[in-house]
Amino acid sequence: MTSKLFCFLTFSYLVLFSLFVSLSFADSNSTSPVSSVTVCKSTPDPTYCRSVLPNQTTANVYYYSRYSVRKALSQSRKFLMLVDKYLRRNSTLTTSAIRALEDCRLLAGLNMDFLLSSFQTVNSTGRILSSQRAEDIQTFLSAILTNEQTCSDGLQATASAWSIKKGLAVPLANDTKLYSVSLALFTKGWVPRKKKSTAWQPKRKQVGFKNGRLPLKMSSRTRAIYESASRRKLLQSTDNDDEVMVSDIVTVSQDGTGNFTTINDAIAAAPNNSVPADGYFLIYVTEGVYEEYVSIAKNKKHLMMIGDGINQTIITGNRSVVDGWTTFNSATFAVVAPGFVAVNITFRNTAGAIKHQAVALRNGADLSTFYSCSFEAYQDTLYTHSLRQFYRECDIYGTVDFIFGNAAVVFQNCNLYPRLPMSGQFNAITAQGRTDPNQNTGISIQNCRIRAADELASSNGTTQTYLGRPWKEYSRTVYVQTFMDRLINPAGWMAWNGEFALSTLYYAEYNNTGPRSNTTNRVTWSGYHVMNATEVANFTVANFLLGDDWLPQTGVPYAGGLII
């Protein structure tokens, strides 16, 4: 970042703060004078909050929010510069230390983007923010905390990086506390007490690809249809009122008959920083096994990637923590660019159970969608890292914590297949990583099916399988209208370590079916709940993801509410 840009941002932050003052969005008392001692009571760490906020007798929540966000912006830039300083010493660093630092640099850069996006959103209007825009900013501030935690986790797991850990530990800890204060004050002053609610309708119209699903094979005739209508209209729903728009279509084929022979080359050809109105850059990946590590950078927005079907188009790799990668960068396929859509593709990591954490797909892409895809690995298969995500009619295979992360994510009509782990291991389907009570994150599993994978079904049956365990203190996971086969332990859920998080987590079930859906013998933790119809509405696509605002443009079918 140049000094000129930094000066511009500094000025912009002041403009942003003045806009914050004008709002009285959620709390009728937000404009009333209040001391920092009082306002800090609404944050997770009141002592730290009081140490960073000025004590003003005439200040209100918006003033303190402005102050904390301004300080957070400054600190995020300083941390990025500190990481770059360590990376310049790469000749003295081990490979694992460099990889951990590179993760931190990527994540710190995203944090700067999220803070700037928040500024630009508020700066674009002099009126009260809509609930959707308030949700955007809360999502970004939640992701900033997730990114800090991921950086810290990667460094802690790198044995050779002790000197780096020592130098970054204090900035990481203090910045995390500051971001938590910013999120808490924003939530108190700007987020509605009642989140936007769309009354679920059992027979709501479902939008989707023509005939409900995309054909598994893309014939030359179908491709010609795609490229007609000025190469803009992809497919219409059966009701002829919803369409998926594309700006261009390229084909990846290993036999040389397409535009590219590798997926990465096709991604490189995509335009930078496109907007939804431009339509998707569609990459059609023909049948084949693609041994590539794919990373879709933040500037490759609004890509749609379509394969020939599960187990037909396969993207595969074998990186693992045992082989020196961080969990974060062990992924075969990683995406952080917003608006990503994938259809009819298998994502695979073949490292095996013996290599422990080995990610098939890592998703940190906001408003991203996966439809009719498969994710195959063992421990840590699908890393739903951050922001807002939706998965429909997907297959997920794994063993320990095989769906994990800290996104706001809904799985709908998916198949969850616990596999046979190593001897002495157990299966945990989820390990949700919410670290702060104000993060709008969690895992919602709706109308899915949990059955043993073939290798587990044919084993001697001693493996214990659980619905989830709390990776972080405020872990949040719900199962709704889901079939649970007899492989699930009757207790349902497993502790992470002793009493850790058992009173701060939120684990819940609603109207599930199958041999192990009975909640009579479930855990008795204070954080475990059997939900009622009012509570479960908070975890539907329409309410948890505000999906009605962005899923229709993907063409992927979905139910906004409960499925009847």
pLDDT tens-digit series, residues 117-159: 877 665 565 455 677 888 999 999 999 999 999 999 999 988 7
Average pLDDT, integer, range 150-174: 89
Top-confidence residue, 527 or 121 = 527
| Per-residue pLDDT, 518 | 97
**Sequence spans of domains, the chain:** 36-190, 290-554
pLDDT at 237 over 50: no
Model pLDDT for residues 299-322, shown as the tens digit of each residue: 999 999 999 999 999 999 999 999
Long-range contacts at 308-312 (CB < 8 A, ≥ 24 apart): 308/216, 308/217, 308/218, 308/344, 309/216, 309/217, 309/344, 309/372, 310/344, 310/345, 310/346, 310/372, 310/373, 310/374, 310/395, 311/346, 311/374, 312/216, 312/287, 312/344, 312/346
pLDDT at 8 over 50: no
Q: 379: closest CA among 435, 436, 338, 322?
A: 322
Average pLDDT, integer, range 109-114: 95
**CATH second-level architecture of 290-554?**
3 Solenoid (2.160)
Average pLDDT, integer, range 435-439: 98
| Per-residue pLDDT, 122 | 56
CA dist 200 and 407 (Å) reads: 23
Average pLDDT, integer, range 354-373: 97
pLDDT at 99 over 50: yes
214-223, 286-295, 374-383, 423-432: which has the minimum mean pLDDT?
Answer: 214-223
What is the band of 463 on the pLDDT scale with cuts at 50, 70, 90? very high
What is the band of 242 on the pLDDT scale with cuts at 50, 70, 90? low
Catalytic residues: 401
Q: What's the whole-model pTM score?
A: 0.89
**446 three-class SS:** strand
Top-confidence residue, 7 or 177 = 177
36-190 to CATH, choices 1.10.1370.40, 1.20.140.40, 3.40.50.720, 3.40.50.1100: 1.20.140.40
